[in-house]
Structure 1
Amino acid sequence: MALLSRLERFNARHPWSHNDFYGRWVARQVAGARHVLDVGCGTGNLIDLLRSRAVSVTGLEPDPATARVAAARFAGDEGVVIEQAGFEQRDRDRRWDAITLVAVLHHLPLAETLRELHESLSPGGRLVVIGCYREASPGDFLVSTAAVAANPLMGLVKHPARARSLPVQMTAPTAPPRETVAEIRAQAAAALPGARIRRRLFWRYSLVYDRP
């Protein structure tokens, strides 16, 4: 327990975003998509990567303060629209070539949201999710042990100086994940047949689905 406590204090002094770690990977998965929807866009770090690959990017962010930061960041960029809204408030008549969600899906009702994500994709469109899951299996805890060991090393590389506060992109509201990887796989098999799901490092999983 003392070791874990020391690790927590060290990680707090050298914070870095586990979500941003996967940003470039997500952007590569949707390369070639013309119109992209980023659900729960935060301050816009992923949009910044998507912008050079797409004609337009729409970011939905329900948290008012975070949405204001993103809107100011892309003010004047006609290819980016930031809406202070959740996924349930999207334009339901519009379809997207690609939809991305990073650390967002666990905030939403899983089965219903997966079905609606499918319907929000254009035929041939791609859904890319980096999500959070509830640890339950031996495999989960094995990957978590590796992440605990790697996390402080990444913190030193990405944020070598001691931080006085969290970076702004890490201040959006959070919530603990409810579903296990097994539960996510089962729901995805029903709503998104053929979706590819992998457990990832740093307490994340990836889901990639191509709508026929």
Structure 2
Amino acid sequence: MAPLSHLHRFNQRHPWSHNDHYGPWAADQVAASGARDVLDVGCGTGNLAALLRRRAATVTGLEPDPETARAAAARFADDPAVTIVPTTFAGRARERRWDAITFVAVLHHLPLVPTLRELRGSLAPGGRLVVVGCYREAGPADRLASLPAALANPVVGLAKHPARAAAPPSHMTAPTAEPQETLRVIRAAAAQELPGARIRRRLFWRYTLVYDAPGRLSAPDQHSRCG
């Protein structure tokens, strides 16, 4: 266990965000849908919201941690097209439907099936849900799949954060929770609640899910689509 302990301490000294790693991918998925009005759930200090704002007309970020929400609001104080609301997904404007919803490292904090059902109902016709999620490892296949991430993690950390850190950066201080659902359970729930959702296992202990609601977006700016 000593090597694992040393590796853990090394990763702590050179922290980097696995979630931010997938930010450009998530923003690309939103842009490819032609979405204009985007809801970013669990927006943190606004790193993904900033990427989304370059591709969409309006971005609403929900952040339950008051201090983090204040930091995000201050970041976008001069941009009226970005709204930060200090609340959870349950506190969203329930009558509103969104062209796209992003859910990064949030789903495992919430009840899986009811949340997927609510997400489906929160999308406008043709709207897109983009999830970057965490799953619980179960069995040899998951452990084998995590081996490349375990090897690459310190290398990426050293490249991104070569100086030793005394504490994690502010955008990595949000409360965390261990995921309870396996990838198999998540796939089954998505098949039930989000027919046609595309799920992929990803590097760094993540999976991605993309779901397109039936219908067609009414936004006229279809030139904003990208491949």
Q: TM-score range by the shorter chain?
A: over 0.9
2:27 paired residue number = 27
State the SS of the aligned residue for 1:57: strand
2:220 paired residue number = none
Question: Partners in 2 of 1:148 and 1:39 — Cα distance?
Answer: 28
Which of 68, 75, 78 aligns to 1:76? It is 78
Question: Partners in 2 of 1:84 and 1:53 — Cα distance?
Answer: 23
1:157 paired residue number = 159
Q: TM-score, normalised by structure 1?
A: 0.99
State the SS of the aligned residue for 1:19: helix
Cα drift, residue 144 of structure 1: 1.1
Cα drift, residue 138 of structure 1: 2.4
Question: Partners in 1 of 2:206 and 2:43 — Cα distance?
Answer: 17
Question: Partners in 1 of 2:161 and 2:141 — Cα distance?
Answer: 29
Unaligned runs of 5+ in 1: none
Cα drift, residue 85 of structure 1: 0.5
Q: TM-score, normalised by structure 2?
A: 0.92
1:92 paired residue number = 94
Question: Partners in 2 of 1:35 and 1:178 — Cα distance?
Answer: 31
The answer to whether the aligner puts 1:3 opposite 2:3 as a matched pair is yes
1:207 paired residue number = 209
CA deviations over 1:76-101 (Å, ceiling 9, x no partner) = 21110000000011111000000001
The answer to whether the aligner puts 1:128 opposite 2:130 as a matched pair is yes
Unaligned runs of 5+ in 2: 215-227
1:66 paired residue number = 68
Question: Partners in 2 of 1:139 and 1:195 — Cα distance?
Answer: 22
Which of 100, 110, 121 aligns to 1:119? It is 121
Q: Give the root-mean-square deviation of aligned CA atoms.
A: 0.7
Cα drift, residue 164 of structure 1: 1.4
Question: Partners in 2 of 1:41 and 1:141 — Cα distance?
Answer: 29
State the SS of the aligned residue for 1:186: helix
Question: Partners in 1 of 2:208 and 2:163 — Cα distance?
Answer: 30
CA deviations over 1:105-141 (Å, ceiling 9, x no partner) = 0001110000000000001000000000000032211
1:14 paired residue number = 14
State the SS of the aligned residue for 2:155: helix
Q: Which amino acid aligns with 2:150?
A: V
Question: Partners in 2 of 1:91 and 1:138 — Cα distance?
Answer: 42
Which of 108, 111, 114 aligns to 1:109? It is 111
Question: Partners in 2 of 1:39 and 1:140 — Cα distance?
Answer: 27
Question: Partners in 1 of 2:145 and 2:202 — Cα distance?
Answer: 8
Q: Count matched residues.
A: 212
The sequence identity of aligned pairs, in percent, is: 71
CA deviations over 1:43-71 (Å, ceiling 9, x no partner) = 10000100010000000001111111111
Question: Partners in 1 of 2:63 and 2:145 — Cα distance?
Answer: 30
